[in-house]
Amino acid sequence: MTEQTPLPPRNAFWGVLTQRDFRLLWLGDAVTGLAKGVTTVVLPLIALLNLSTGPFQVGLLASAVWLPWLVIGLPAGAWVDSMSRRPIMIACHASSAVLFASVPIAWWLDALTYGHLLAVALLTGTATVLFQTAYNVYLPTVLPKEDLIEGNAKLQGAEAATRIAGPALGGGLVTAFGAATGLLVEVLSCIFCLVCILLIRSREPARIEREADEPFTRQIVTGLRFVTRDPYLRPIITYGAVVNLGLTGYTTIQIVFLVQSVGVDASIVGGLVAVAGLGGILGSMIARPLGRRFGTARSVVMCQLATGPFVLLSPLTTPGAGLAFFCVGTCMLIAGVVACNVVLGSFRQSYCPPSLLGRVVATSMFVLHSTIPVGALLAGALGDAVGPLATMWIMAALIAPCGLILLLSPMRRQHDLPSEPLDEPHQQHAAE
């Protein structure tokens, strides 16, 4: 049984934030998310301004952050399942702090190279894979099952807010202190989050030892088998992979579409994207009330069916008042995706057997992240071939019907998502 500190009386407004350990986890995550937003601006600007690289090198740098998901995404789950999660999270933040600090130090010593920057992107991306896998498995240690949806909603809400504030802060830091120095924000955030994790009092349950002679590849296959055979996880991950494909393509082409096809001045593009990004905050706020009112399974299906088609408004964007089409279409799309992520992420954390959770999380993230670079490359190729407007229509048409994947799953017959696998033979076979 997980050891947790006694829960204080629940305040309706603050909710799970009244719980000390979750508050520490949330605060560390919020600061880290803000710094990640800064880094998305600062890292490519270092390459462009300090190293005079071209668009291809900047694109390669961006893809290097995601590449570790495809290389170690699956084995990461088996590693996390075999070890305590908190030390993994601490080690990931400590190593990331050192790696990010090496960039401004190398710049001050006039020794920074593009190869150094690429290595930092790859290695910190690897640390992110391990941290995110451990983090998703660790959250049920801090929160009981009944609070997971609210906890995930607050985490998603903070992430949505930092996605809006982070890039703006990054631009300001580059202007004030220079691109390389701006990366020190990421260093400080890693240290801050590391301290927050160290202060958490909740302790993980005792590890369930697996057979000593169980091959490592068999451990990975066990997680894959559980996901592919489960009637709920399989369609959920399929839905997420298709949405990520379309959403990445959509976000890749949206700025080109706004500037070249709509004629929006570059100075206000960031503001439009930020307004549209408010959908993430909206989605995190509505997830829990919808789940209580309609049931977790029914609310996810209804939410995606209701919000997905709004994305078809975005390609109708025109100058002036017509910019509202982009803001409303994108805002509703992101709201629906985030609301689903809150419920489905909580479902996965409470549904999967604890001994398999790390591998299930890693398998899910491996599949979900594998379509992200494909979506970006597809949007770029289509943008060159048929133009930004046609590409926006293609991506919107791909995203809009994704809710049908969930509608055709067993979720359509359920009021709430199950709290554990119902098929006992399935569990036994998956755990072999």
Cα separation, 373 vs 390, in Å, equals 20
Residue whose token pair is 């990366």: 183
Higher pLDDT, 62 or 13: 62
Looking at the predicted structure, is the pLDDT value of residue 108 above 70? yes
Please answer whether residues 156 and 283 qualify as being in contact, where contact means their C-beta atoms are separated by less than 8 angstroms: yes
The token pair at 112 is 């920074």
Q: How many residues does the chain have?
A: 432
Is the distance from CB of 375 to CB of 320 less than 8 angstroms?
no
Tens-digit pLDDT profile for residues 312-337: 999 999 998 999 999 999 999 999 99
Spatial contact of 371 and 241, defined as CB atoms under 8 Å apart? yes
Angle, CA 127 vertex, CA 174 and CA 71 arms, to 5°: 115
Question: What are the angstrom distances between the C-alpha of 38 and each of 35, 171, 356?
Answer: 5, 8, 34
Domains of the chain: 15-204 (1.20.1250.20), 226-414+425-430 (1.20.1250.20)
Tens digits of per-residue pLDDT, 80-103?
Answer: 877 888 899 999 999 999 999 999
What are the pLDDT digits (tens) for 3-30?
444 444 455 556 788 888 889 988 988 8
Cα distance between residue 156 and residue 344, in whole Å: 12
Distance CA 99, CA 264 (A): 38
The fraction of the chain above a pLDDT of 90, given in percent, is: 25
The answer to whether 104 and 185 have CB atoms below 8 angstroms apart is no
* 279-301 pLDDT per residue, tens: 888 888 888 888 888 898 999 99
pLDDT in tens, 35-52: 877 777 677 778 777 787
* 386: β partners: none
Distance CA 361, CA 156 (A): 17
Give pLDDT, residue 11. Answer: 53
Please tell me which residue, 91 or 141, carries the higher pLDDT value. 91
Q: Of 74, 45, 308, give the one whose Cα is nearest residue 177.
A: 45
Helix, coil or strand: residue 3:
strand
Helix axes 148-177, 184-198, angle to 10 degrees: 150
**In this structure, what DSSP letter does residue 143 have?**
S
Q: Nearest-CA neighbor of 105 among 95, 94, 115, 116?
A: 116
**Per-residue confidence (pLDDT) for residue 287, from 0 to 100:** 86
**Pairwise CA distance, residues 236 & 294, whole Å:** 19
Which pLDDT belongs to residue 212? 44
191-245 pLDDT, tens per residue?
999 999 999 988 777 655 544 456 667 777 888 888 888 899 999 999 999 999 9
User: What's the pLDDT band for 55 if we cut at 50, 70, 90?
Assistant: low
